[in-house]
Copies of this chain bind each other. A is one copy, B any other.
Amino acid sequence: MNAPEYTSLQKKKLREVIFGLEDDLQLARMAEIFQCFADPTRLKIINSLLISELCVYDLTVVLQMSQPAVSHHLKHLRQIRLVKTRRKGQSILYSLDDDHIRQLFDICRTHLDETDESDHSQYFPGRQP
């Protein structure tokens, strides 16, 4: 009849977890940053800019996609301030703002490489394991 109860030890653990959490605003802002990395096209843009400063048209060539699509993704990255821009003639050159982006990219790649190494039943995107 009664609701399930926690022991005092379990309650303590939960209190510690709740206390240790980042606040919701910080988590929302972090999620926004990760969202920039969470789309294959945007990730390819980031990957490209990790290699070289590029203008919008360069990116359309590299990514083989339409200019408005590229611009939209760049706008997204601009709003989260992951990229900075400078004008050069008629073009606008995009580059990455700081080294954390490279670190995030590298750690993720390393993670995949290492898990592939130890676990050969690797899954593929969009499919069930």
Interface residues of A (CB under 8 A from B): 4, 10, 13-14, 16-18, 20-22, 24-35, 37-40, 42-44, 47-48, 51-52, 54, 57-58, 61-62, 79, 81, 98, 100-101, 103-105, 107-112, 114-115, 119, 123-126, 128-129
Contacts and interface: CB of A to CB of B under 8 A. Distances in A.
Contacts of A109: 22, 26, 30
B125 A111 contact: no
A93 B69 CA distance: 42
Contacts of A119: 81
A26 B20 CA distance: 33
A111 B81 CA distance: 11
Contacts of A62: 14, 17-18, 21
Given A17-B62, A79-B129, A111-B98, A31 B27 contact: no
Query: How many copies of this protein are present in the complex?
Result: 2
Contact of A34 (B34, B44, B52, B125): B34
A72 B98 CA distance: 34
16 contacts: A13-B52, A17-B54, A18-B62, A21-B51, A27-B44, A30-B109, A30-B112, A33-B108, A33-B111, A37-B37, A79-B128, A81-B119, A100-B107, A100-B110, A104-B104, A107-B107
